[in-house]
Chain A
Amino acid sequence: MNSLITLPLLIPFFTAIILIFFAKNIPVQRWIATIGSVLTIIAAISLATTVYTNGIQTMNLSNWEAPFGITLVSDMLSALLVVTTSLIAFVCLLYSFKSIGKEREKYYYYPVFFFLILGVNGAFTTGDIFNMFVFFEVMLMASYVLLVLGGMKIQLRETIKYLLVNVISSALFVIAVGYLYSIVGTLNMAHISVRLHELGQSGIVTVIAVLFLIVFGIKGAIFPLYFWLPGSYYAPPAPVMALFGALLTKVGVYSITRTYTLFFTQDVGYTHELLEILSIITIVIGVIGAIAYSDVKKIIIYNIIVAVGVILFGVATLTTEALTGSIFYLIHDMIIKAALFLLIGIMIKIAGSSNLKDMGGLIHRYPGLAWTYFIAALTLGGIPPLSGFMGKVLIVRSGFEAGNYWGAGIVLLSSLFVLFSVMKIFINGFWGEAREYSQKEKQPVKWLLTAPVILTICAVLYGLGTEAIYPIISTAAETLSNPEIYIKAVLKE
């Protein structure tokens, strides 16, 4: 019996509750939030090391045996994602201290922040499909509040759209779970996998698979369902944007990865082919958006869509190597997207506008910002020693091996365009003539800059330490490609 698995959930939960009591006392709130966040990181890292040395950790809530009660399961993939989430949360918290504003801090920004972390960590950790829905809702509820907090016109408008889209997708989620329950009669994910494999290939399973793809596709922003993302992510302030961009879509991607490796592996010819085609179109759409806009926020937001496509392309290929690449890229993308959002947050704060046409010459007065951005941009593009490289190599190579030349080619080409789109920000924003804001007093950005610098260092280390990290990630991919390991650990057969 190991209670370590619950700590990354319980610590944010209790931190959030305690924070509500101190809502009006900002310094106390900050201290409690920092302590809670650091404790979450420590718990997450020790959980990950335990999983690495002792194998998959499980806990049957309320002491009900595995297929009957709710089970928390932490395999290598979810442990790694929980670690990354906790790290990003900590960094966004640091950034929030100086940028989010007193009003928001008084109106329960920090408690809601921690409820969001609870929801995300929960969705990564749970081993029960309905419980996953519940954690999704916790996460979404927190995200609605974070999105609307501040009550500016654009925020209200975008929140209404975001709420409506997500209410519908939640309804579809429950419907999909209902259908699944009607044919397998269980909600435990490992048990569902066993029952589905006994059932073999049948039409209804494929229908449910596609329904799940729609549900998670709305959350994860894949091709026909990404429409809400560029608008909604545009509205909130930078740290919230970083949290959303780094975490929320990735929860959708994680859920697709989990269900498409554990449940729906009977009719690969249809379901995974569909996923592959959609992911390629997602990449293309994302790239077009990233190149077309001259608004820094929009460029990075469309880059999220590209990354989702790349990760899902690896998942659709469904070989151990491709899955390793996907996991590599998933974690890399979470870290670097958070860093980029925070960096452009600083740029917007300095320039007072998010349009590239109003920026320029930032490098003269803010060299630290400029070079951090440069490294982060190169990392996103996947320049060899940095962290985006390894994931993409594995995804592309296994794509070629599987004979999917078109898809792998597009993934390869997309990194060039991604690099172009972020370099566009560098060239237009940092180089060139300085604009009016340069007359204004120099903004104090040192504190704000520490947050993205920490993340960029993490990303660089993640890239340089590939050799050391590889065995950990391949353990995670091993579990994904052999569902038996997961099933055995949960059902204890």
Chain B
Amino acid sequence: MKTNNLILQTATKVLVFIILLFSVYMFFAGHYEPGGGFIGGLMASGAIVLLLIAYDIKTVRKILPFNFIKVTATGLLFSAGTSAGALFFDKPLLTHWFTYVHPPLLGKMSLHTAVLFDTGVFLVVVGVTMTIIQTIGESE
């Protein structure tokens, strides 16, 4: 069955990038304001699901040739590695570290290990959500 959803497909081509960009914004906004890895990850997987609806599972697999379970594992490795890394500095588990840097033009910025942890969360959420959706969607 092939339905003609030209409008959806054309709109998706633009929308996916906007949503993905917004998810990245959300991810970094989480440092000081509402947002963060979890919500960003959900939004990113929302974008991929939109792709899935507009096209089909094969096309999406061609666009994003990842094994999403491995994406999840990579995310876990990021998060667990960041939290366990504190042990090497003789600090309790999950202790984070931050500093401020002053690169030219951009002004004062903070560097925080929590971003790495959140990257892990982002990847885990994308990986898990996509695995679930693929598992249910695939068998049809």
Quick check: do A and B touch in the complex, using CB within 8 A? yes
Which of A6, A17, A23, A63 is the one whose CB lies under 8 Å from B76?
A17
Pairwise interchain contact A62-B94, C-beta atoms closer than 8 A: yes
A204 touches B (CB below 8 Å): no
Name the contact of A17 in the complex, choosing from B77, B91, B95 (C-beta under 8 A): B77
Question: Is residue A371 contacting chain B, with contact meaning CB distance below 8 A?
Answer: no
Interface of A is mostly: helix
Interface residues of A in 26-61 (CB under 8 A from B): 59-61
Instruction: Name A21's closest neighbour in chain B (CB-CB).
Output: B73
**Contact partner of A6 among B72, B77, B93, CB < 8 A?**
B93
Known A-B contacts A3-B87, A10-B84; A21 and B70 likewise in contact (beta carbons under 8 Å)? yes
* Contact status A1-B69, CB under 8 Å: no
Given known pairs A10-B80, A10-B84, A17-B80, the reply for A63 and B73 (CB within 8 Å) is: no
Query: Contact residue range for chain B?
Result: 10 to 19
Residues of B within 8 A of A10 (CB): 80, 84, 93
Assess whether B140 is interfacial by the CB under 8 Å rule.
no
A13 proximal to B (CB < 8 A): yes
Given A1-B92, A6-B93, A63-B91 in contact, is the A13-B80 Cβ separation under 8 Å?
A: yes
Cα distance A59–B95 when bound, in Å? Answer: 11
With a cutoff of 8 Å between Cβ atoms, the chain A residues found around residue B76 in the complex are 17, 20
Q: Using A14-B80, A17-B80 as known contacts, say yes or no to A60 and B73 having CB atoms under 8 A apart.
A: no
A59–B73 contact, CB under 8 A?
no
Residue B96 interfacial (CB < 8 Å): yes
Chain A CB within 8 A of B33 CB: no
A1 touches B90 (CB 8 A): yes
A23 with B69, Cβ < 8 A, contacts A13-B80, A14-B80 known: yes
Residues of A within 8 A of B95 (CB): 61-63
Q: Using a CB-CB cutoff of 8 Å, which residues 58-102 of chain B contact chain A?
A: 69-70, 72-73, 76-77, 80, 84, 87, 90-96
A17–chain B nearest beta-carbon distance, Å: 5
The answer to whether B69 and A20 have CB atoms under 8 Å apart is yes
B91 contact set on A, CB distance < 8 A: 1, 63
Q: Are B69 and A63 in contact (CB under 8 A)?
A: no
Docked Cα-Cα span, A59 to B94, in Å, equals: 11
Interchain CB contact (< 8 A) of B93 among A17, A59, A108: A59
A6 CA to B91 CA, complexed, in Å: 12
Q: Give the distance in Å from the alpha carbon of A72 to the alpha carbon of B94 in the complex.
A: 12
Expressed in whole angstroms, the minimum distance between the Cβ of A24 and any Cβ of chain B is 10
Task: Give Cα A13 to B78, complex, Å.
Answer: 12
Q: How large is the interface on A (under 10, 10 to 19, 20 to 34, 35 or more residues)?
A: 10 to 19
Question: Which residues of B, 93-127, contact A by the 8 Å Cβ criterion?
Answer: 93-96
CB neighbors of B among A393-440 (8 A): none
Q: Is the CB of B87 within 8 A of A20?
A: no
Q: Which secondary structure dominates chain B's binding surface?
A: helix
Tell me how far the C-beta of B4 lies from the nearest C-beta in chain A, rounded to whole angstroms. 37
Task: Tell me the bound Cα distance from A63 to B73 in angstroms.
Answer: 27
> Given that A60-B92, A62-B95 are contacting pairs, would A6 and B70 also be in contact in the complex, using a CB cutoff of 8 Å?
no
Q: Which of B80, B91, B92, B95 has the most CB of A within 10 A?
A: B92
Q: Which residues does chain B contribute within 8 Å of A14, judged by CB atoms?
A: 80, 84
Partner of A63, one of B77, B84, B87, B92: B92
When distances are taken between beta carbons in the complex, the residues of chain A under 8 Å from B87 are: 3, 6
**In the complex, chain A residues whose CB is within 8 Å of the CB of B93:** 3, 6, 10, 59, 61-62, 72
- In the bound complex, do residue A62 and residue B69 qualify as a contact, i.e. CB atoms below 8 Å apart? no
Give the most central of A63, A72, A108: most B CB within 10 Å.
A63
CA A6 to CA B92, docked complex, whole Å: 9
Shortest distance from the beta carbon of A2 to any chain B beta carbon, whole Å: 10
Closest A residue to B90 by beta carbon equals A1
Contacts of A1 in B (CB 8 A): 90-92
Q: State in angstroms the CA–CA spacing of A72 and B72 once bound together.
A: 26
B28, chain A: closest CB distance, angstroms? 21
A58 to chain B, nearest CB (A): 10
Alpha-carbon distance between A61 and B117 when the two chains are bound, in angstroms:
15
Which residue from chain B places its CB closest to the CB of A13 in the assembled complex?
A: B80
Q: Is there an interface contact between B96 and A17, defined as CB atoms closer than 8 Å?
A: no
Closest 7 interchain pairs by CB? A20-B73, A62-B94, A3-B87, A63-B95, A17-B76, A61-B94, A6-B93
Interface residues of A (CB under 8 A from B): 1, 3, 6, 10, 13-14, 17, 20-21, 23, 59-63, 72, 108
Kindly list 15 other residue pairs between chains A and B, CB separation below 8 angstroms, not including A17-B77, A63-B91. A1-B91, A3-B90, A3-B93, A6-B84, A17-B73, A20-B70, A20-B72, A20-B76, A23-B69, A59-B92, A61-B92, A61-B95, A62-B93, A62-B95, A63-B92
10 examples of A-B residue contacts, CB within 8 angstroms:
A3-B87, A10-B80, A10-B93, A20-B70, A20-B73, A20-B76, A21-B70, A21-B73, A61-B94, A108-B69
